Amino acid sequence: MSKFAPTPEQQAAIDFDGNMVITACPGSGKTSVMKEKIRKITPVLADHKGVIAITFTKKASQELKKRCKHNAHDTKQSFFGTIDSFCLKELILPFISRVWGGNPAECKVVRRLRSPYLLFLDEEYCSPTVENILNDDGFNRLYDAGFVWMNSFAALALHVLNSSESAQRYIKARYSHVFIDEYQDSSLAQHQLFLKLLELGLIATAVGDVSQSIYEFRGGNPELLNCLVDDSDNFRHFQININHRCHASIINYASRLLDPNFQLIQCEEKRIYRRLVTGNLTSVAQQISGRISSWIDNGKWGVSKASDIGILAKKDKSLKLLTAGLNIDYRIYSENPLDSVGSDCSDLYSHLLAFKYGAIPTVQELIANQFELVVLKENNLALVRKEIRALREIEQVDQLIAKFHELASMLGIEEDEESDIAVRTILQQEEIIKQFMPLDDNEVQVMTLHKSKGLEFKVVLHFDLEEWSFPFQQVVNNDWDNPVYTSLIQDANLHYVGITRAENCCVLIRSTLRQNSRGDFSQSAPSYFLRLPQLEGLYG
């Protein structure tokens, strides 16, 4: 790990000891700031205490934990994980029986609420609040039937904290601080839980960037971050606004996309380009393959390996068209047949395939990070480990699926035929199997804009910049002459995220032919984003 030399604004955030909210742009080093704060706090804590460090993804959590523990640093009893994992392990499982009775160890976590589970609730919820928990006794009845729904974890955990003095004593005795990253994607229940931890006396730090809010469709609300910024009575606001990742011309373009009045950074060279390429996405991919190969061979833009290049698009179907024309090795991260099933069983099978083919290297990592929301009885753990290890020796598809069935049964997950069919489909397609293998430096990375969040590349090729492709449009009242951009702010943020994945070069590509919803191709028009006047003169 290289020596971290903080900027003055980073150092000010590190040194402050009270409640704070950090707004941080892409490439600002916010993870390093969180790491430094945690490493500063933990040495003075008693051995039985720690901090709560919550990140948006398991991958981000593993990275933060690794950096905090560098050089055998003792993080004491600190928790590193996602908000769902914290709620389940630290509050719901230990304390919900004090509120609702029963035996939570016998409960099964339901990731996606489907029939018959939906019938327990009075209405469909995206991200329930504690008020929903109190007013809809279906959540209690769902628990009595042996199920807890993952989307309700934050609300359930808050209900537990509000109702159980034992839970409150435990949190106050065990933890001194709480950190939550990517706060712009927090739901109302998660926000209320954060404030409850503050109320219990934990020193609270929220880190986020409203401009990178891209998950409102999951219940995230960026205004909750703004509420903390505005709450000067309880939080000190720190801004970390220097992007250390991207070339200045990329910063200028991305910043002006969201803020027409952004003060441009002086730079001699433009490294963000717009290109109109003839044909549909498949023929465009054929045309650019040679250019990509040349960049790799000659080290253009600082590229030292194929995986330094990211090909990004808004839609999965666009990725399929692109990869049909690529004449270079690539790795596509798109929705696979198991993702499409979207069941607890399909999630399990995805993790097991990732272990079998090496993307998850060890049994311990699989259990610790992928099964974090499975209520696993201790006496079954050794047997589960043994059965998982056996997966790498199985070659026959039928035997593999039979082993998946055994593991699903041991983990209390109901198997389904759709997931079996999905596994068979995946194992017949080498391109999809690659998703479950370790990263190969010799492959260009191909993914949706959403999947690129948190990643960085030397070069980004950003597609889908045709009208009707991106941003999303919808015809209202059959008025085809005046379609409406129904999610323009979120789409602009997503465009911003895609651009700022690029360190040294970003190419914005529009194809002359666009595929419509019927699968037909027609002449394209430039995207709304390519027509913004504040971006003129900022690209090559």
Report the pLDDT value the prediction gives residue 110, as an integer from 0 to 100.
82
Residue 150 has pLDDT above 80, yes or no: yes
Report the pLDDT value the prediction gives residue 389, as an integer from 0 to 100.
94
| Burial of residue 261 (number of CB atoms within 10 Å: 0-12, 13-18, 19+) | exposed
Residue 118 has pLDDT above 90, yes or no: no
Residue 353 has pLDDT above 90, yes or no: yes
| Burial of residue 195 (number of CB atoms within 10 Å: 0-12, 13-18, 19+) | middle
Residue pair 270/37 in contact (Cβ under 8 Å)? The answer is no
Q: Please tell me which residue, 411 or 303, carries the higher pLDDT value.
A: 303
Longest dimension (CA), the chain: 67
Report the pLDDT value the prediction gives residue 344, as an integer from 0 to 100.
81
DSSP characters over 42-53: GGGS-TT-EEEE
Share of the chain above pLDDT 90, in %: 83
Sign of the C-alpha dihedral computed for residues 288, 286, 450 and 534 taken in this order: positive
Contact partners, residue 84, CB within 8 Å, separation at least 6: 150, 153, 154, 373
pLDDT digits (tens, 9 = 90+) for 432-446: 999 999 999 999 999
Q: Which CATH superfamily is domain 8-85+160-240 in?
A: P-loop containing nucleotide triphosphate hydrolases (3.40.50.300)
Closest residue by Cα to residue 212 from 454, 447, 7, 22: 454
Report the pLDDT value the prediction gives residue 374, as an integer from 0 to 100.
65
CA distances from 490 to 17, 214, 308, 497 (A): 33, 5, 27, 10
Residue 191 has pLDDT above 80, yes or no: yes
Alpha helices in 417-539 (DSSP H): 417-427, 430-433, 488-499
pLDDT digits (tens, 9 = 90+) for 226-247: 999 999 999 999 999 999 999 9
Over residues 26-41, mean pLDDT: 96
Residue 265 has pLDDT above 60, yes or no: yes
pLDDT confidence band for 350 (50 / 70 / 90): very high
Strands (E), 337-483: 444-448, 457-462
Domain boundaries along the sequence of the chain: 8-85+160-240, 88-151, 248-329+440-535, 337-436
Give the single-character DSSP code of 260. Answer: T
Q: Which CATH superfamily is domain 248-329+440-535 in?
A: P-loop containing nucleotide triphosphate hydrolases (3.40.50.300)
Euclidean distance between the first and final Cα of the chain, in Å?
36
pLDDT digits (tens, 9 = 90+) for 79-117: 999 999 999 999 999 999 999 999 998 888 888 887 888
Report the pLDDT value the prediction gives residue 78, as an integer from 0 to 100.
97
pLDDT confidence band for 479 (50 / 70 / 90): confident
Residue 1 has pLDDT above 60, yes or no: no
Report the pLDDT value the prediction gives residue 285, as an integer from 0 to 100.
97
pLDDT confidence band for 19 (50 / 70 / 90): very high
Over residues 523-539, mean pLDDT: 97
Q: Please tell me which residue, 463 or 62, carries the higher pLDDT value.
A: 463
Q: Rounded to an integer, what distance in angstroms lies between the CA atom of residue 228 and that of residue 319? A: 38
Q: Rounded to an integer, what distance in angstroms lies between the CA atom of residue 197 and that of residue 178? A: 8
Q: At 115, list the tokens.
A: 């029939």
Range with lowest mean pLDDT among 278-287, 316-325, 376-385, 422-431: 376-385
Range with lowest mean pLDDT among 192-206, 267-281, 354-368: 354-368
CA distances from 5 to 2, 16, 32, 34, 166 (A): 9, 17, 10, 14, 42
pLDDT confidence band for 349 (50 / 70 / 90): very high
Residue pair 467/526 in contact (Cβ under 8 Å)? The answer is yes
Residue 412 has pLDDT above 90, yes or no: no
Q: What residues are designated binding site for ATP?
A: 24-31
Give the predicted TM-score (pTM) of the model.
0.92
Report the pLDDT value the prediction gives residue 459, as an integer from 0 to 100.
98
Provide the mean pLDDT of the chain: 94
Residue pair 210/89 in contact (Cβ under 8 Å)? The answer is no
Residue pair 32/4 in contact (Cβ under 8 Å)? The answer is yes
Over residues 450-476, mean pLDDT: 95
Residue 372 has pLDDT above 70, yes or no: no
Over residues 418-435, mean pLDDT: 94
Common-topology check for domains 8-85+160-240 and 248-329+440-535? yes
Q: What residues are designated binding site?
A: 24-31
